[in-house]
């Protein structure tokens, strides 16, 4: 979703800010803007559409000693230049960029309107700028104006703020991520994540909620609850943030190619093959063993990977359940005496998941399974395991999904003392590689369905979860309406939607139940559907659309999801769509 980058000190600001926004653009956005501070004056540039549109209206060689920039994913107000950030106060004293949502902005707007304040935009962000300006007019310092404004704001915000006539880059943070970076000399930076400032800074600190402060080119001062705060700075491993297509045409294709490697990396990190022992923290494993239920929480792809994991835990006789985070918060689930909450997230910043953390009872055990290092969920859970997938840029999650499933299955192996899991995962990784190498066959299938409006993915058991994830991928990037159904459920309603030529992708990875899914396919075929059976070689039959290398039945989702990812990718390309940045979606969903 929205992205922030800013700096103060010696820089070419146009190239730093627009370059930084490009590194954030994978999060999804619909307009962009920036502001330079120069000798007490602020210049503002904003554009609808791409960062390139913005760059085209900003003069080169613009002198400045501080700057802030933003990519906006519209929440309050349409996609217009007036609603783009930076927003400024009505008196043009305060310019700021904002990630997050202010819940009480309507009340604040009404209050300010009563004081004569006029608004140019529909945004909650302009209200923040104007509340700060109100306190400035009351004679407060910039820092006190920010503190007093924070007392009035309900909601989430990461803010980077410039003041006309006042040197310094100011910031404030609550519930939306904001990181600070120290440059080597005469430079300090901030960003909504590390990617845009990584090449400019050597030490980084992620801000805790309700922190505010300011930076100059030589110093960074932070406060919480009115008290001076010592920020803890640390270096970052640049490998985790490599932003490079490496010769691939799209990030999604690159990331699909990396999927099998991420599975292998997790096996290596979690299992000592020479000794045949798992390498997880023993207390983590004993606590998970002692839990009366392991509660997986996630959204989107992370929910589907944890559904597959929960089923796998159940197969091993462990009590586990998977919930959609934004539903779990409504509390309709059984009361547990000793739950262990496992929060799954690629970005580690998903607001719906963070809401779960706000509700989880004090003292309850929490584990984060996360890709982004030092993200909010990584910091706020008692224990964190990283899937080590490296930066995932394409909005549609691919390698992270495989990494999450692998890590959760390894965890299950450790809890249930099943040392066969790593070998099965390595076989699954080889099968994924084989699917990826045969991309052209999948592209040929995509070619045959370019014009369709609806598609179905069906499966039973673990294969159903692969169908759910594949169906989500298809929706996300090809905009084809798609449903995922367990084979047996089709006749209870969805079969009414089958028309002549409706494509149905059926996953058959489990020799024990492949007969049933094949008879479901027959029922659909009799009603006009065009079936595409994607089967493991152990249960393949003449005429199947795609046959993948055998893996243990519970690991079939690995090659099946790789198939679904590639099908969606090629269909998106063939429909002339933006594979890496699909409409309306964001990579890091930081609003509820």
Active site residues: 2, 587
Tell me the closest approach of the beta carbon of residue 401 to ligand G6P, in angstroms.
8
211-215/227-229 β-pairing: unpaired
Residue 548 forms beta bridges with which residues?
Answer: 536
Our measurement of the distance from residue 335's CA atom to the centroid of its chain's CA atoms, rounded to an integer in Å, reads: 29
Tell me the closest approach of the beta carbon of residue 266 to ligand G6P, in angstroms.
16
383-386/365-370 β-pairing: parallel
Helices 251-270 & 399-415, crossing angle to 10 degrees? 20
Tell me the closest approach of the beta carbon of residue 562 to ligand G6P, in angstroms.
16
Residue from 369, 414, 367 nearest 267 by CA: 414
Whole-number CA gyration radius for the chain:
25
Q: Which is nearer to ligand G6P, 182 or 568 (CB)?
A: 568
Cβ-closest residue to ligand G6P?
A: 300
Q: Which is nearer to ligand G6P, 125 or 346 (CB)?
A: 346
CA distance 14 to 356: 39
363: left (phi over 0), alpha (psi -120 to 50) or beta: left
Q: Are 33 and 84 in contact (CB under 8 A)?
A: yes
CA distance 489 to 169: 57
Question: Residue-wise over 352-371: b if at least 16 C-beta within 10 A, else e?
Answer: bbbbbbeebeeeebbbbbbb
Tell me the closest approach of the beta carbon of residue 404 to ligand G6P, in angstroms.
8
CA distance 156 to 102: 6
Tell me the closest approach of the beta carbon of residue 589 to ligand G6P, in angstroms.
5
Q: Which is nearer to ligand G6P, 147 or 581 (CB)?
A: 581
Tell me the closest approach of the beta carbon of residue 344 to ligand G6P, in angstroms.
7
Q: Which residues bind ligand G6P (CB under 6 A)?
A: 299-302, 345-347, 350, 353, 395-397, 585, 589
Its sign, for the CA torsion 120, 12, 200, 53, is positive
CA distance 156 to 387: 27
Our measurement of the distance from residue 520's CA atom to the centroid of its chain's CA atoms, rounded to an integer in Å, reads: 35
CA distance 451 to 527: 20
The residues, ordered by sequence, that sit 6+ positions from 227 with a Cβ below 8 Å of its Cβ are none
Tell me the closest approach of the beta carbon of residue 77 to ligand G6P, in angstroms.
22
Q: Which is nearer to ligand G6P, 24 or 395 (CB)?
A: 395
Tell me the closest approach of the beta carbon of residue 303 to ligand G6P, in angstroms.
8
- Count CA within 13 A, CB hemisphere, residue 396: 34
DSSP summary character for residue 497:
G
Tell me the closest approach of the beta carbon of residue 480 to ligand G6P, in angstroms.
16
**DSSP letters along 220-233, please?**
EEEEETTEEE----
Tell me the closest approach of the beta carbon of residue 431 to ligand G6P, in angstroms.
23
Q: Which is nearer to ligand G6P, 300 or 413 (CB)?
A: 300
Q: Which is nearer to ligand G6P, 266 or 345 (CB)?
A: 345
- Count CA within 13 A, CB hemisphere, residue 297: 31
Q: Which is nearer to ligand G6P, 130 or 381 (CB)?
A: 381
Q: Which is nearer to ligand G6P, 350 or 439 (CB)?
A: 350
CA distance 236 to 552: 38
Our measurement of the distance from residue 398's CA atom to the centroid of its chain's CA atoms, rounded to an integer in Å, reads: 11
- Kindly state the tokens that stand for 406: 């692998």
Residue 228 forms beta bridges with which residues?
Answer: 223
Our measurement of the distance from residue 60's CA atom to the centroid of its chain's CA atoms, rounded to an integer in Å, reads: 33
Residue 220 forms beta bridges with which residues?
Answer: 215
CA distance 161 to 142: 10
Q: Which is nearer to ligand G6P, 121 or 381 (CB)?
A: 381
Q: Which is nearer to ligand G6P, 211 or 345 (CB)?
A: 345
The residues, ordered by sequence, that sit 6+ positions from 52 with a Cβ below 8 Å of its Cβ are none
Indicate the SS3 state at residue 351. Answer: helix
Q: Is the peptide bond before 86 cis (omega within 30 degrees of 0)?
A: yes
Tell me the closest approach of the beta carbon of residue 12 to ligand G6P, in angstroms.
33
CA distance 193 to 542: 50
Q: Which is nearer to ligand G6P, 19 or 388 (CB)?
A: 388
């Amino acid at each position: 979703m929205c992205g922030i980058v800013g700096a103060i000190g010696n820089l070419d600001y146009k190239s730093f800010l627009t370059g930084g926004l490009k590194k954030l653009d994978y999060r999804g956005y619909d307009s962009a803007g920036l502001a330079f501070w120069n000798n007490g004056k602020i210049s503002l540039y904003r554009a609808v559409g791409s960062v390139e549109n913005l760059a085209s209206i900003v003069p080169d060689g613009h002198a400045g000693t501080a700057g802030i920039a933003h990519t906006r994913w519209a929440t309050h107000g349409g996609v217009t230049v007036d609603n783009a950030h930076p927003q400024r106060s009505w008196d043009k004293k305060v310019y700021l960029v904002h990630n997050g949502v202010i819940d009480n902005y309507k009340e604040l707007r009404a209050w300010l309107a009563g004081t004569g304040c006029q608004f140019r935009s529909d945004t909650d962000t302009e209200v923040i700028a104007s509340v700060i300006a109100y306190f400035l007019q009351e004679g407060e310092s910039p820092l006190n104006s920010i503190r007093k404004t924070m007392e009035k704001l309900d909601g989430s915000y990461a803010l980077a703020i410039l003041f006309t006539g006042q040197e310094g880059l100011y910031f404030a943070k609550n519930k939306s991520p904001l990181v600070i970076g120290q440059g080597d000399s005469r430079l300090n930076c901030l960003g909504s994540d590390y990617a845009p400032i990584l090449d400019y800074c050597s030490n980084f600190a992620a801000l805790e909620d309700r922190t505010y402060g300011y930076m100059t080119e030589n110093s960074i001062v932070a406060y919480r609850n009115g008290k001076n705060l010592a920020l803890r700075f640390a270096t970052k491993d640049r490998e985790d943030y490599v932003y490079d297509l490496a010769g691939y045409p799209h990030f999604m294709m690159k990331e699909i190619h990396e999927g099998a490697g991420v599975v292998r990396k997790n096996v290596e990190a979690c299992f000592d093959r020479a000794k045949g022992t798992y390498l997880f923290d023993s207390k983590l494993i004993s606590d998970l063993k002692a839990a009366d239920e392991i509660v997986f929480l996630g959204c989107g792809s992370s929910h589907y990977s944890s559904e597959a994991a929960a089923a796998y835990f159940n197969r091993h006789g462990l009590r586990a359940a998977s919930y959609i985070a934004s539903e779990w918060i409504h509390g309709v689930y059984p009361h547990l005496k000793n739950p262990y909450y496992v929060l799954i997230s690629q970005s580690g910043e998903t607001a719906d998941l963070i809401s779960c953390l706000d509700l989880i009872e004090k003292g309850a055990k929490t584990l984060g399974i996360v890709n982004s290092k030092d993200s909010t969920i990584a910091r706020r859970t008692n224990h964190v395991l990283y899937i080590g997938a490296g930066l995932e840029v394409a909005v549609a999650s691919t390698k992270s999904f495989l990494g999450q499933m692998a890590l959760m299955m390894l965890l299950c192996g450790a809890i249930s003392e099943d040392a066969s899991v790593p070998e099965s995962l390595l076989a699954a990784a080889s099968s994924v590689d084989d699917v990826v190498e045969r991309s052209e066959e999948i592209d040929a299938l995509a070619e045959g369905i370019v014009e369709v409006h609806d598609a179905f993915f069906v499966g039973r058991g673990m294969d159903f979860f692969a169908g759910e994830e594949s169906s989500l991928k298809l929706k996300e990037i090809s905009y084809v309406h798609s449903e995922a159904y367990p084979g047996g459920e089709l006749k209870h309603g969805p079969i009414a939607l089958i028309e002549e030529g409706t494509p149905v992708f059926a996953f058959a990875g489990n020799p024990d139940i492949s007969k049933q899914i094949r008879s479901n396919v027959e029922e659909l075929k009799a009603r006009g559907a065009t079936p595409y059976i994607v089967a493991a070689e152990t249960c393949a039959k003449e005429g199947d659309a795609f046959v993948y290398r055998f893996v243990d039945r519970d690991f079939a989702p690995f090659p099946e999801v790789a198939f679904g990812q590639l099908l969606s990718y090629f269909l998106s390309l063939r429909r002339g769509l933006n594979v890496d940045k699909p409409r309306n979606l964001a990579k890091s969903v930081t609003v509820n």
